Amino acid sequence: MNLKKALVRSALLASVWILNSCIDGREEYWLEADGSGRAEADYQIPAAVVKLHGGENGVRAMLQEFLDSTPEIKGSSLQVSTEGSQLRVKAAVSFDSALDLRNVASGSAMHELPDAASHLAGTIQADLHGRTLDFKRTISAGKAIPGACFLPESTWQSHSLTYIMHLPAAPTTSNATRTEDSGKTLIWEHPLGQAVLKPVVTRFSMPVPIPWKWVAWITPPLALAGYAVFTWKRRGKPAACDL
């Protein structure tokens, strides 16, 4: 066996050893009627992989910088810890507009993170058509895990990616694997073995309810306008003749 083949074999064996612990991820979102909300993420990744990025401290610094320099995120908390051979990352954020989140994945702050982070964040398409919100997110987990194609399917057992979305109203359509709370909670559960073979797509369409605070803002002007029209009509009406 020549040196080149030996190096390739060693690299593949190292990848298998590192990735045997694989990745587990869970993201959960709470979306309010006015478009604001909050989110929590919990990921476990091989600690050996992140040594290339400064280990636990390096990852914590990178992620904190990302949270601090992303204007769409209004509040956040971050926990990074090493548990055995796994690095655990837990983050919580709040935001004023869910539609603004579609800009995060393509923002300059995301480009400062490793490529794996952008692949796990995916791409988001969110658009309003009238009063209907169409949402689609595509996550490329296979690209986030180098050497995934060399690993046997048994490697991925017991590992998964889960995405949960709590909506203010039940969507008209979705591709969620299951729902709860009368259809208002959408859950996508994907075994990691499937997620690395092809991109994971989460999508739904839902009617956008009119926020109560909007009603509070527009009611006084509408009431004043209605009163003005009513009084104008009365003034413009000719007086009745005396008989």
At 86-116, the pLDDT tens digits run 889 999 999 988 777 766 766 666 667 777 7
Token pair recorded at residue 159: 């590992």
Q: If you average pLDDT over residues 123-148, what whole number do you get?
A: 81
**Is residue 80 a contact partner of residue 60, using CB atoms and an 8 Å limit?**
yes
How far apart, in whole angstroms, are the C-alpha atoms of residue 86 and residue 81? 9
What pLDDT digit, counting tens, does each position of 10-36 carry?
444 444 444 445 788 999 999 988 888
pTM of the model: 0.75
Kindly state the greatest CA–CA separation across the chain.
Answer: 121
Distance between CA atoms of 146 and 143, rounded to whole angstroms? 7
Neighbours of 17 (CB within 10 A): 12
Q: List the domain boundaries for the chain.
A: 18-226
pLDDT the model gives residue 222: 45
